[in-house]
Amino acid sequence: MRPVLVVMHAPHEGPGLIARGLDAPIRVRTVLDLDDARLPGLDEVSGVVVMGGPMDADDVPGHPGLAAERALLATAVDADVPVLGVCLGMQILALALGSRLHLRAATEIGFAPVDVVAEDLMLGALGERPTVLHWHSDTVDLPSGATLLASTAATPVQAFRAGSALGLQFHPELDAGMLDLWLSTPDMVGDLSPEEIDEIRTAGAEHLPGLAPAATKMFAAFGELVRARG
């Protein structure tokens, strides 16, 4: 079986529960700051996962590898290759599909509900109004032809489906250990007060035990799509 390509942008923002749910080999690449970024061809992979990161999704001058990621995602959707974009990954996916990015439009950090507004084979595993981890300040418009799947008042596009691609603005990939890593990483919590960090940690202890199994089920559904492609 061909591996799933996982594109990362920061060492602490790995695939987490995605890798556990896939039950498939993965190939991790980081091309963010490479001028001559080269990602595997679609004939080499069974699916594409693009993770989060702190940079702006459109900052190609500062991070030239983003251009290669965007091009790969556009080609993958056209070719009906399974794609999953998380947070920054969703924003890059949206740009690849011709959407617009809005910088510093809505800061959401911490655990809070999202309203699921349409049925989806993968996202449905989380339920109708799951409490999930948010960690973003940028938003995107819904790409033309895509289906809106989830929303909040601050961020109207929290999840969307575009053919073979699922974009998630929030972070269902975290388990307790990964949340602890984030809360001890200065790049993640530098702008948060100790009280805000403690609040996120407490909310994680409350919500992750129920959320993690549901998220693993969602990623297993993605894994089925990947294995079907072979």
Catalytic-labelled residue, pool 63, 134, 136, 171? 171
Q: Residues of the chain with pLDDT > 70: what percent?
A: 100
Does 87 qualify as catalytic in the annotation? Answer: yes
Q: What is the pLDDT of residue 24?
A: 87
Q: What is Dmax (Cα atoms) for the chain? A: 48
Phi, psi of 108 (to 5 degrees): -130, 115
Does 9 qualify as catalytic in the annotation? Answer: no
Does 12 qualify as catalytic in the annotation? Answer: no
CATH assignment of the domain containing 214: 3.40.50.880
Structure tokens at 191: 């702008």
pTM above 0.95, yes or no: yes
Query: Taking the CA atoms of the chain, what radius of gyration do you get in angstroms?
Result: 16
Q: What is the pLDDT of residue 5?
A: 98
Q: How far apart are the C-alpha atoms of 180 and 174, rounded to whole Å?
A: 10
Q: Domain residues for 33?
A: 4-229
Q: Which of 134, 169, 162, 178 is nearest to 17 (CA)?
A: 178
Catalytic-labelled residue, pool 13, 63, 87, 108? 87
The total domain count for the chain is 1
**pLDDT digit string, tens, across residues 89-143:** 999 999 999 999 999 999 999 999 999 999 999 999 999 999 999 999 999 999 9
When pLDDT is averaged across residues 76-91 and rounded to a whole number, the result is 98
